[in-house]
Amino acid sequence: MARVARLAQRIPIVLMAIFIILPMVAVLLYSFATRWTSNILPDGYTFEHWIDGFTDARFAAVLVRTLLLAIACAVLDLILVTPAVYWQKVRNPRIRPFLELAAAIPFAIPFVVIAFGLLALSGRFAPQLQGTLWLLLPAHAAVAFSFVYWAVDSSMTSAGVARLSEAARTCGAGPMTILWRVVLPNIGPGIASGALLAFGASFNEIALVQMLVGNRFETVPLYMLNLLKGSNADFNLLAVMTSVTFLVTLVLSIAVVYVNGGATTQLANTNPGRRETQ
């Protein structure tokens, strides 16, 4: 009786799990299907699409390009955010409202708005930047920085960085030494999860890519859009690329949980800005 009730309680989460898993399974099957027209499962299976994809120059270039962009974005964000948050904590609390405001912008404002604004601005003041990485990379860093900000901020707070650096100062250390040798080793998980989230944000972003550089710098989401919209849409190849992005998402999610020491709940706590990265 009690067991039946407990099983009944599980029904909503099980239905949700099915809803979540079904589209993923469909994509995976498509990526291995020879032909799939009228049966529950594909007519046959093959690795051909995966081999085709990874041997295709465009496909491989798109993947490498996107990975490099996402890594650059995460690194740039760490370089920008960590000293700023550190300085706010140990030197000047008046920095905080500005950082909070800046972090709230990509949290709430759709990236399309930022994209069009940047397009208009660069067209007016710096047309030579249009279509280049020199516009796209800072833009990605700007819209992804709030993830790093929240992660680093909360890990610095919980590590008690203000008190740590006071202690280090009484030992005669200077600001850069403190940041490098005392603060950073204590906020490793925050840095790592912030970087992973920024990586994910950049990897999946399409609005800025489409508006600012377009097909001159084709990234994974743009490539998928082009395949989807193209007249001779290759659904199997699209399924391969979707599987790849799904795998990247999965690995990132697991990595974030892992670097937070298995504290899954922290995901929701420390990153109030988890959102669809459009």
Partner 1 sequence: MADQLSFGLASTRGRSSHLRRFASRLLVWLADWSMALPLLIVSALMLVAPMVAMFAGSFIDGNGQMSLVNWSDTLGSVASQRAIGNSLLLGVTVATITLIIGGPLSWQVSRMLRLGRAFSLGLLNVAANFSGIGLGFAFVAALGTYGMVTLAMQALGLPFSPVSQSSFWGMVIAYEYGNIPLFVLLSLPAMSLLRDEWWEAAQTASATRWQFWRHIGLPILMPLMLADWLLIFTWSVGMYGLPLALVGSAPRAFRLITVEMGQSMVGSLFGVNHVPVYAVILMVIATITLLAYRLIVRRAMQWLV
Tell me how far, at minimum, the Cβ of 161 lies from partner 1, in Å: 13
Shortest distance in whole angstroms from residue 222 CB to partner 1 = 8
Q: How far is the CB of 110 from partner 1 (least distance, A)?
A: 3
Task: Report in angstroms how near the CB of residue 120 gets to partner 1 at its nearest.
Answer: 5
| Rounded least distance, CB 165 to partner 1, Å | 12
- For helices 57-90 and 235-259, the axis angle rounded to 10 degrees is 30
CA 72, CA 64: separation in Å to the nearest integer? Answer: 12
Beta strands per DSSP E along 145-262: none
The smaller minimum CB distance to partner 1, of residues 52 and 87, is found at 87
Alpha helices in the chain (DSSP H): 2-32, 48-55, 57-90, 95-108, 111-125, 133-159, 161-170, 175-177, 184-186, 188-204, 207-212, 220-229, 235-259, 265-270
Nearer to partner 1, 63 or 118 (CB): 118
Nearest to partner 1 of 61, 120 (CB atom)? 120
Residue type, 261: G
Nearer to partner 1, 1 or 13 (CB): 13
Closer residue to partner 1, CB minimum distance, 3 or 124: 124
- Kindly tell me the burial class for residue 155, based on how many C-beta atoms sit within 10 Å of its own C-beta (0-12, 13-18, 19 or more): buried
